[in-house]
Amino acid sequence: MASIKGALFDLDGTLLDSMGVWKEIDQRFFAKRGMIMPDDYVDAIKPMEFIEIAKYTIERFHLFETPQQLMDEWNDMAHEAYASWIEMKPGAKVFLHTLYQKGMPMGVVTSSHETLFKAALKHHQIEHLFTSVTTVKEVSKSKHHADIYLIAAQKLGVSPEQCVVFEDILVGIRSAKKAGFKTVAVSDASAIYEREDIKKEADLYIEDFTELQKSPII
């Protein structure tokens, strides 16, 4: 990847070890009320929209709050998590600083809400390392489409062929690669079922960023 002139990074599951945050939030939510989260709760709410989850939780557990109060509480808990206790993946911060020192333009490509990713970048003191942040909300398409990567590359002033995308999910790797980007897949426990497919389709697969300290790719 010697011709690489720019790098794009997903946050959740790639730079941040955050994919289990909502389960942790749910557990803390129930513990706060002296309850144990039922084993079937996470699976039950998976297909629901945020407000539907709030309504379902109130009805199932006979809570007295309004749906908005529950959503506000969950959002506050998520913000606290991103601003204080969610860790970066091993070697990620060192790798980012290495690229920054080399003068490599870098951008964030994320599905996270602005208040959350800003809190995480500030907490880990890495916001200044990135030239830009691009969100799926900005492009109005999910990562099943390459739009977010294409727009992010434009912000860096590089072509897809000159840019590498770091992702933990298969759909992101596929859409980025199809658009001409080089791709590095980062292992994450939440995508374990996709591991073999990701290994086959990404240009490079890493367990964590410490591997890149021994074998530089840029």
Calpha distance 166→89 (Å, rounded): 12
> Which runs of E-coded beta strand occur in the chain?
6-9, 106-110, 132-135, 163-167, 182-186, 204-206
CA distance 158 to 153: 6
Note the pTM of the prediction, 2 decimals: 0.88
pLDDT in tens, 199-218: 999 999 999 999 997 766 66
Whether the per-residue pLDDT at 99 is higher than 70: the answer is yes
Q: Does a structural domain hold residue 103?
A: yes
Q: In what order do the strands lie in the sheet with 132-135?
A: 132-135, 106-110, 6-9, 163-167, 182-186, 204-206
Please check whether residues 145 and 169 belong to one and the same domain.
yes
Q: Are residues 102 and 165 part of one domain?
A: yes
Question: For residue 91, what pLDDT band results from cuts at 50, 70 and 90?
Answer: very high
DSSP assigned state of 1: -
CATH at 60? 1.10.150
Query: Rounded mean pLDDT of 15-29?
Result: 90
Convert the pLDDT of each residue in 138-162 to its tens digit: 888 888 899 999 999 999 999 999 9
| pLDDT value at residue 63 | 96
Above 90 in pLDDT, residue 19?
Answer: no
Which residues form the domain of 10? 6-18+87-214
Determine, yes or no, domain membership for 123. yes
| The pLDDT value given to residue 50 | 85
Residue 1 lies in a domain: no
